[in-house]
Structures are given as structure tokens and as C-alpha cells.
Structure 1
Amino acid sequence: MSSFPQIPQTIADEQQLDDWLTTPSSELIEFVRTLSGDLLVLGAGGKMGPSLAVRAKRAIDAAGSPASVIAVSRFSDTTSRQWLDDRGVVTHAADLLDRNAVEAIPDAANVLYMVGTKFGTSQNPAFTWAINTVASSQVMQRFAGSRFVALSTGNVYPFVPVASGGATEDGPIGPVGEYANAALGRERVFQYFSTCNGTPVTLMRLNYAVDLRYGVLTDIGLRVFSGEPVDLRNGYLNCIWQGDANDAIIRALGTAESPHCLLNLTGQETLSVRAIANEFARLLERPVQFTGEETESALLSNSAKCCDLLGAPQISTETMIRWTADWLRQKGRLLNKPTHFEVRDGKF
């Protein structure tokens, strides 16, 4: 998926982590040379958006392109906005549920749609549906002449047999719970306007981006480090380094088409939660406890199509676990936003 400088053994601090997350691959730098027009990142204030926007900005600068990167969010976290401003990203505050605010967003030929909400859905399902569908509709009408990559989720798939290699893009869907159904609603909105208006779109169904401050590996490692039992009810998973995911999201603009293109965005391996926990126990020199039992199915995606188009992820599972263990050992900052990977009933 990408080519980088030499991969470090550990990540020393947040400055190095952010630098690594925002360093563009050589493939990304070459790709942005082919882009015409500015790049708009909608939902740039979330967990992935800031590093994605800065990665794109660094790639554009390295390519010698005059394009701007415009990051749009409500920016309720002013720290995130300042971090982007300091790195040359143009920021624009807007609520995408406000039609007038959407109309006032600057024009851009290329749009990365990172908007969505997951946690708290059980308490406020109406808001989840609104942000996942109404906002998408308004944006697709406002930017009908642009090219889109829109982030979705592997939660739209049913649980599949662990030995299957994961759900494929042409297989059946089977969302469980309000969040997954709202996410499918978001996809349908993009598909509808892509077909009606001829807007090129790629939908990317992501399974578990990993950043040392949050993510499924951090969740598992933290439980081992803290002496808490690791839940095995959802005993298998896929994940991908957030930097690799962001690199692919930007480069997927080159795959956008009408009708839409659909890609699973995740790692190539089916990973055992038990095996991950045991490796953390070894690295952290802590005993590991388990609760629950594995079942024969899990929420898994097959990323072969994406890897064929964009290349395989650069950062291995072994590296991600090693980095995470060291991060926990040095008490690196955590976002305290668990993935709830163990949930099987779709209630978030």
C-alpha cells in the first residue's frame, strides 16, 4: 500500500507518532501529482481526520502541487483545529446537518468524507441516522461535480465463518443494530447520488484502524497491562495501521467511479484475539486472563480487492503489537475511546 523510510522498532513519543502517521508514502506523493483541484476533508476533527489531512498536505507539498487541503468539522475540539492550522491545512468550521453551512463550504474537486458517529447510538439513534444519512445527502448534492471517497464500515456485513477469509464486496450484507443499519443508509445515499448525478464515488468499508492512542490492539493490550480479562466473545478480527488506512483513502480517489466503487479497507490477516492477548502478555511480562469463549463466526472483511488496487499495508501486525506494548509500558497518552470490538449485538 505504501513505501516509507525505515520502520522504527518503537515509537518514543506523540511527536514521533504524529510524524509517522502523517508521513506520506512515495506512492501517495506520486498520486497527488495526478490530482487536479483542491482536496476537501469532511469530518476532519475525528480520530482519523487530522492525521489524514496533514498526510495529504505533506504529500501535496512534496509533490510541488499548488492544491490546498481544506479540513471541515464542527471543531468542538479547538486543539484539533489549531493542530491542523499549524501544519498548513486550511480549516473551516461547519455543521453538516445545517444546509446553509454546507452551502458555504469552499468548492473542491476532490472530497474525502470521514463523517459518521458510532458510540452513543443506543442512547440517541435518531442523531446517528441523521449524521449518517442527512449530512451525506446534503454534501452529495452540494458537491455533485466532485470526486468522492467516503468512509464506511465493515459493520454492514453479517458475521462470517472465521475460516472464510472474510466478507467480500460482492457478498451479502447483514448489518446488526442501529449503527450498522445507519451506516448502510449512508452508503445507499452515496450510491443513489452517484448514479443519479454521475458523481464518481468510492466507498471504503473500514475494519479497525489502529493508532497507539486508541484502537483494538490498544484495547486488548490495555486489558492485559491492567490485569483485566480479555473478552473472547468476538474472538477474531482484522485491523490496519491508521497511516496505511489514510494513505489508501487518499489514493482511492483514483478508483472513484459512477456507479460507485466498493472496497474493503483492512489488514490481510484474520487475527485471533487470544493470540494477540498472549503476545501482549509476553511483551509486557504480565499474566493474561480471558472471559467468554470464541465462536465460529466473527465480523471479518476480505481486503484482497483493495490490496490488488492499492497495494498491501506497510505496517505489519507484529510491528503494531510491538509499538502498542511499548506505548503502554511507557504510559503514552490514550484517547480513552474503546472500540468495543467484543460487541456482537450491534449495540454501541
Structure 2
Amino acid sequence: MNALPELIADEAQLDATLTQPSEALRAFIPELNSPLVILGAGGKMGPTLAVLAKHAADLAGHALEVIAVSRYSNETTRQWLENNGVQTRTADLLDRDQWADLPNSENVIYLVGQKFGTEANPSLTWAMNTLVPTHAAERYHSARIVALSTGCVYPLVPVDSGGATEDSTLNPPGEYAAACLARERLFTFHATQNQTALTLVRLNYAIDLRYGVLHDIAQKIHHGQPIDLAMGHFNCIWQGEANERILRSLSLCDNPPRLLNLTASEILSVRKVATRLGELMKREVQFSGTEADTAWLSNPAQSIAAFGPLTVELETLLRWTAHWTDSEGRSLGKPTHFEVRDGKY
């Protein structure tokens, strides 16, 4: 694996950095038979995850077909995947009849989800987070499935608790989080019925310079807007490493299903992160509100025990984010709303 760049100049370099596989992933990927099917591959994480898998296979000399399934409302995304050796299939995964046309697979990554707009259209969120998992679990009942979930299935926990563990009680606030918990329950139900090997990955805040908590904070600093301290602490993880660990979680699939928190160990202070970004950007930082004693936090000890320590440090992410923001690098325009405490999105 090449050394990380000091700064990231443009999207081409960003995507190259996100899709550079580690030695560990290159060693693991030959264990997968073709095709690797990625469902919901057109979103924020899916494109770079698919290309990461393909790059790892190519570098390992493993002729792995990677098939990325999505509606592909953005043709540019689909073309980028094809240009990087990933096969694409266009499908509306809410339509049960379209599942029969998808390729058989022994290994499936499930990334489908619906979050923002839940308050305005809750029925769509529930459909995406319950009907589609049922279709996936039925279609690929004999495969290993890694299904992406979220740390939002946990309740808010004390900041000094070290974060929720996989054994923590699930009592999430808000309709979005409840639908995410329903997604987990339906996958688990079908896995139990069919003896499907499953890993549920509870992710807390992937960082891509075009979106994410650090991006959101830096954007507010750049535009002179105050940073809301209501949700005063958070976890995050570089998206490249998150995608690596999602792929390697295929090796952990089991029945009963394996639960896995995916984030970095450090519990970060919004105030301290914003202050450091302000220093790097040479801008004044404004704050509003005060920190609560609780936050959405996860303890990733199990995933770190399984895959080893993370390699991309916070200071690197802050340096990249500050430079990207100052350079007016592209934003996806999809704020995380990490400051929300009532689960209403």
C-alpha cells in the first residue's frame, strides 16, 4: 500500500486514495468466488467500495467479477464504475419482480438505505429499510451477507461510557433509527429461517471529503456559521478503511448473525475538532449551545480485534478536510445532521 498523501488535490486523487487496498484486503479477496454482488452500490459509499474490491482482486491476481446493483439515478457514477472494471446492473430493488434477474452469488454486500426525508415521507423510509432487506434475504438466502446498519440503532449513551457495545440494549430515538432497527430484525429473522450466514455492520460516520461530519463542521467554519454543540461528541472512520472492513466482514458471517460496530476508537469532541479545523483553515470558529452528557457513540473493540488498528489518523483527516474546504473541493450537498438528538431527519 502506498503512503498516504500529505494533501488531496482533487476528486481523482481522492477516489484513488479511497480505493487503494491494503495488504490485508489483497490477501483476503482471493477467498471470494465470482461474482461479488453489491446491492445499493450507487450511494455515498458503494462506488468506492466496489472499485476497492476490484482493485484488490486485480492486484492479487484474482479474476473476481464485481457486480454493482443500483437504480443509478446518476449516470456519471455508473460510468465511473464501468471504467474501473466493475460491472453494473440497473434495478429498482423495491420491485420484487426485478430480483430474479440479478446474478446468483455466494457473497453479497448490502448497502441499501434511506435516511433523509424520513419526517416528510416516513413510509418510503420504512419500505426501503424493511421490504428491500426481505427481498435481499430471500433472494440470497444461501449466500454470505454483510448488511450495513448504523450506530443509530443504539440509544444515546454517556460520553464517558466508551460507547455502546454490540451487547447494548437497542432503544433508538426517532423513526429513522427505528426503521434501521427493523432492517436488522428482518435480516436476522430471514437468516434464522434459512440458516443464512450474516454480519450486521453498525457504522458510525464514514469520512469522505465530499461529505461526513468533518466536512459538515468545516463547511460551517468556511461560511462563518456557528457550530451546534448539542451533539457534542462523535466517532468517525475514514471511508476507505470502513469499506475495507465491510468487505473483510464477509469472513465473519455466521449464524446466529455476527454484530459488529465499525468506527474508530477515539471519542471526539466537536468543540476540539472544530477548533483544530479553524486553526488549519485560519478562520475564526463560532459555537452555539452546550455539550450534552450523552451522544451517539459506539465501541469498536470487536472490529479492531478482528481486523487490527486503523491506520488513517484524525490529524490526517483534519488536514485533508481543511485543505479540501479551503480549495472549495466538491461537496455532495448531503449533510449528516449529526447534531440532531431526537432522531428526526
Asked if TM exceeds 0.5, the reply is: yes
2:262 maps to amino acid: L
- Mapped to 2, the partners of 1:190 and 1:196 lie a distance apart of 10
Q: Say whether residues 1:310 and 2:318 are aligned partners.
A: no
Q: Say whether residues 1:235 and 2:232 are aligned partners.
A: yes
Residue in 2 that maps onto 1:177: 174
Residue in 2 that maps onto 1:26: 23
Residue in 2 that maps onto 1:286: 283
- Mapped to 2, the partners of 1:310 and 1:193 lie a distance apart of 27
- Mapped to 2, the partners of 1:316 and 1:76 lie a distance apart of 34
Residue in 2 that maps onto 1:137: 134
Residue in 1 that maps onto 2:194: 197
SS at match of 1:33: helix
Residue in 2 that maps onto 1:266: 263
CA deviations 1:236-265 (Å, max 9, x no partner) are 000000000000000000000011000000
- Mapped to 1, the partners of 2:166 and 2:243 lie a distance apart of 20
Identity %: 54
- Mapped to 2, the partners of 1:66 and 1:210 lie a distance apart of 30
- Mapped to 2, the partners of 1:195 and 1:313 lie a distance apart of 32
The Cα shift of 1:191 comes to 0.7
- Select which of 238, 242, 252 maps to 2:249: 252
- Mapped to 1, the partners of 2:14 and 2:328 lie a distance apart of 14
The Cα shift of 1:36 comes to 2.6
The Cα shift of 1:66 comes to 2.0
SS at match of 1:175: coil
- Select which of 76, 86, 90 maps to 1:89: 86
- Mapped to 2, the partners of 1:9 and 1:282 lie a distance apart of 17
Q: Say whether residues 1:296 and 2:293 are aligned partners.
A: yes
Residue in 2 that maps onto 1:325: 322
1:315 maps to amino acid: V
CA deviations 1:110-141 (Å, max 9, x no partner) are 00000001000000100100011100001110
Q: Say whether residues 1:56 and 2:56 are aligned partners.
A: no
Q: Say whether residues 1:159 and 2:156 are aligned partners.
A: yes
- Mapped to 2, the partners of 1:190 and 1:183 lie a distance apart of 11
The Cα shift of 1:77 comes to 0.9
- Mapped to 2, the partners of 1:311 and 1:113 lie a distance apart of 23
Q: Say whether residues 1:119 and 2:123 are aligned partners.
A: no
1:80 maps to amino acid: T
- Mapped to 2, the partners of 1:244 and 1:60 lie a distance apart of 16
2:101 maps to amino acid: A
2:145 maps to amino acid: F
- Mapped to 2, the partners of 1:308 and 1:336 lie a distance apart of 35
- Mapped to 2, the partners of 1:34 and 1:72 lie a distance apart of 22
Residue in 2 that maps onto 1:212: 209
SS at match of 1:72: strand
The answer for unaligned runs of 5 or more in structure 2 is none
- Mapped to 2, the partners of 1:36 and 1:261 lie a distance apart of 21
- Count of aligned pairs: 345
The Cα shift of 1:323 comes to 0.3
Residue in 2 that maps onto 1:44: 41
Quick check: 307-316 or 260-269, which moved more? 307-316
- Mapped to 2, the partners of 1:75 and 1:266 lie a distance apart of 28
Q: Say whether residues 1:340 and 2:340 are aligned partners.
A: no
- Mapped to 2, the partners of 1:278 and 1:100 lie a distance apart of 52
2:192 maps to amino acid: T
SS at match of 2:31: coil
The Cα shift of 1:37 comes to 3.1
For the 8 Å contact 2:198–2:255, the answer to whether it is kept is: yes
- Mapped to 2, the partners of 1:244 and 1:201 lie a distance apart of 20
Residue in 2 that maps onto 1:105: 102
For the 8 Å contact 2:34–2:66, the answer to whether it is kept is: no
The Cα shift of 1:64 comes to 1.5
